[in-house]
Amino acid sequence: MGKLLFLGDCIDFTITSNISLTGMVLSLIFQATLAFWGSISVYLLYRYVKWWFSPLWQQGIPGPGRRGFWLGEFGRIRKEPFMQPHFGWINTIGSWDEPMIHYSIMFGRHSLIILDRNIIREILIAPYGKTPLKYHKIVGNVSNILGWGLVTAEGEQWMRHRQIIQPAFFTQALKDALSTHVPSMTAEFIEQWKKAPQGREIDIASHIASLTLDIIGRVAFSHEFRALDSIEEWAEDPQGENNLGESKDRFVQAMATVLKPNFVTIISILLGTPALGKYFNPSVRQGRRAMDQEVDKIIRNAKDQLEKSSENGHKEKKGDKSLLTLLLEATKRDSKLSLNNTELNDEVKTFIFAGHETTATWCKMAIYALIQHPEFQEKVYQDIAKHAPSSQLLLDLEVVDKMEYFNAFMQEVLRMYPPVGAIARYSDETITLAGKEIPPNTRMILSTYVLGRHPKYWDDPNDFKPERWLDKSEEFSARIRFAFFPFSAGGRNCIGQRFATMEAKLIMAELIRSFVFNLAPSLKGTKFELSNLIVMRPKPDLKVVIKSRDKVR
């Protein structure tokens, strides 16, 4: 009987303990939930008070006024084509003579679109190698994907990386690598297009991105992404779909995963806490881990090749040295010029992502310009043909640099359709711009897309006119300085500007020499709009049909 009572007590104690433990867990979850939402509520209340009482409302800066704390002008900006709301505010509320326009977006984020090139100059030439910075970037979700490379790093960390990396971008070896590989790879790309039946529609964005990805892989890292394999498969399957198949490269697959928009990432960015997306979104963590593993392989392979060359006394041919090889050689010569493994990994990811996407977008928008402004297509071709009459010989940089009208055309593409149409800067302290008091953490939008249409700086600003770039006068150069900054300007100008420019011109000169571009029949009558979520792109996606110049002649 005693044993039964004891057993009953044990069972009762176990049940009671389990109930108590469950209650404690539920209580902790409830308290944590209350604490989380309480913190969010306090944070949003703080943001609301700052938004409502911001001195920007009393500064007399023109703009659409208070449109509500929760959305502000976000809905209109998201819905309308790129920068169209801003043009509307300039033309109806302010004027082009105003130095800036004021508006707010979600959760009371105050924003200024800067219209004065002197203010843009002040912001862009401010020192970027010292901490604290006068003007800084908020990199949002980008650092979750790329780590802390030149695009995302700030202050002394950025300055150190820039000093180590910059010499490699200005060596003759890198120019030789571009001259060696870009023409031959573009020729291979063109051969695949010629294999396809005439009149087959081509999705320009995916095709050009495949080419530039393979170019940056070979030129910058001695790595084969084999993105052109998908172009070859497309050309050999005339009955197949027009869209390219998915890349087989693990790095590209991982990058596509982390770039895919999702609810957690979007909300964390809008709340101003992008780091949360990395912790609450497992696909971002997994994709980032896969990217890191693949980049580590690329770096190890480059190191192995460098070691073998040193041991064998191998003399490399002209154009053989990649950007990564140049960086590793600098590290061997001087330990002060070295990046640790994590830093090097982040920089490689940054170069792959930013490098191929920027050039691909410039080329894509150049083809878009040829479609939108067909009267210039023949003029550009004639200039190319004059300097390179034989289509049997590959183009080189020396010849391309002599093509004045072609180069003017490429500059006009950058003015009208820049790959990155706007950048943002913030100040940690109260500053004065054009006599107005600007409080800390105000978002300042510097848009080369908008300034490229400013009537004070450009004649006929809304017209596509390559001829304007044939004006080599100091007066013209002075007038557009800091009104034209497609690769940013000042200390943080794009380190890859020279690389991208050489690559884009070599690609486009060869494509225009080889083909006549026309809009795909499926898009006839389509009114395109421009979007710039990450880089500039037409909506809907641009599709073309091509005709070989050999057949035209």
Pairing outcome for strands 109-114 and 100-105: antiparallel
Beta strands in 419-476 (DSSP E): 423-427, 431-433, 436-438, 443-446
If one counts every other C-beta atom within 10 angstroms of the C-beta of residue 214, the result is 24
Catalogue the long-range contacts made by 292-299 (C-beta closer than 8 Å, 24 or more residues apart).
292/345, 292/349, 293/250, 294/249, 294/250, 294/251, 294/254, 295/251, 295/345, 295/348, 295/349, 295/352, 296/341, 296/345, 298/221, 298/223, 298/251, 298/324, 298/348, 299/324, 299/341, 299/344, 299/345, 299/348
C-alpha 36/C-alpha 14 separation (Å) is: 33
Token code pair at residue 133: 């910075």
C-alpha 157/C-alpha 359 separation (Å) is: 26
Reduced to 3 DSSP states, what percent helix, strand and coil does the chain have, rounded to the nearest 5? Answer: 60, 10, 30
C-alpha 115/C-alpha 90 separation (Å) is: 9
Is the C-alpha dihedral spanning 237, 239, 244, 249 positive or negative? negative
Does the annotation place 363 within a ligand binding site?
Answer: no
Name the binding residues.
Answer: 494
Name the binding residues for heme.
Answer: 494
